[in-house]
Amino acid sequence: MQHAKTEPTPPQLAAKVKLLLMDVDGVMTDGRIYFLPGPDGQMVESKAFDSQDGIALRWLRWLGIETGLISGRDSPATVMRARQVEFSYIYQGHIEKIPILEEILAKSGISPEEIGYIGDDLTDLVIMRRVGFSVATANARPEVKRAAHFVTESPGGRGAVRDAVEFILSAKGLWQQILKKYEAE
């Protein structure tokens, strides 16, 4: 009698994550981009990032899980935020994301099965289909949600990254360490 091979569950996939990559606009932000006049009259780009996402990204680093971003847009605000949360990989201005994933795989030595990716739009699908654990934000396009192993309750820029991090840390058995650290148990 032959047993059918069962597909791994989302927590089993999340438990393998050693590197969490993500898109920026619509994931780390709500997708809106503000252009404000600077002191010299030139327009300056501004974005809003979620503070709860930020601390969650720091927790990953503390627990030995690397982080990074792959964005189609170039933005000084994104670079500043990525440095604040200590991203290992910062790639901007890349709509074609597969070559960037291949470069990260080569540099990191981490296998595709050990990478998680958070996305919200069609440009993210190609990466989501090539990594071990894919996450769609609550505000993601329907095609992206269908391809994801996990869909966050929160939209991008409003806690989606935090939702994904908590899911990953819970799957790895590390969430209790965070709760204990902050006397939240």
Helix (H) or strand (E) holding 89: strand 89-91
Residues 146-176: tens digit of each pLDDT: 999 999 999 999 999 999 999 999 999 999 9
Q: With respect to residue 68, please indicate whether it lies within any of the assigned structural domains.
A: yes
Q: Three-state DSSP class for 160?
A: helix
% residues pLDDT > 70 (the chain): 98
CB 30 within 8 Å of CB 155:
yes
| Confidence band for 95, pLDDT divided at 50, 70 and 90 | confident
Q: With respect to residue 4, please indicate whether it lies within any of the assigned structural domains.
A: no
Q: With respect to residue 100, please indicate whether it lies within any of the assigned structural domains.
A: yes
Enclosing domain of residue 159: 10-181
Q: With respect to residue 15, please indicate whether it lies within any of the assigned structural domains.
A: yes
Q: With respect to residue 1, please indicate whether it lies within any of the assigned structural domains.
A: no
Instruction: Please indicate, yes or no, whether the overall pTM of this predicted structure exceeds 0.75.
Output: yes
**Residue 97: half-sphere exposure toward Cβ, Cα within 13 Å:** 27
Which residue has 């500043």 as its token pair? 80
Residues 46-74: tens digit of each pLDDT: 899 999 999 999 999 999 999 999 998 89
Q: With respect to residue 2, please indicate whether it lies within any of the assigned structural domains.
A: no
The set of residues, in sequence order, having a beta carbon less than 8 Å from that of 93 and lying 6+ positions away, is 71, 72, 73, 74
The residue type found at 123 is T
CATH number, domain containing residue 28 = 3.40.50.1000
Query: How many separate domains does the chain show?
Result: 1
Q: With respect to residue 125, please indicate whether it lies within any of the assigned structural domains.
A: yes
The set of residues, in sequence order, having a beta carbon less than 8 Å from that of 80 and lying 6+ positions away, is none
Say how far apart CA 91 and CA 97 lie, in whole Å: 9
Q: With respect to residue 3, please indicate whether it lies within any of the assigned structural domains.
A: no
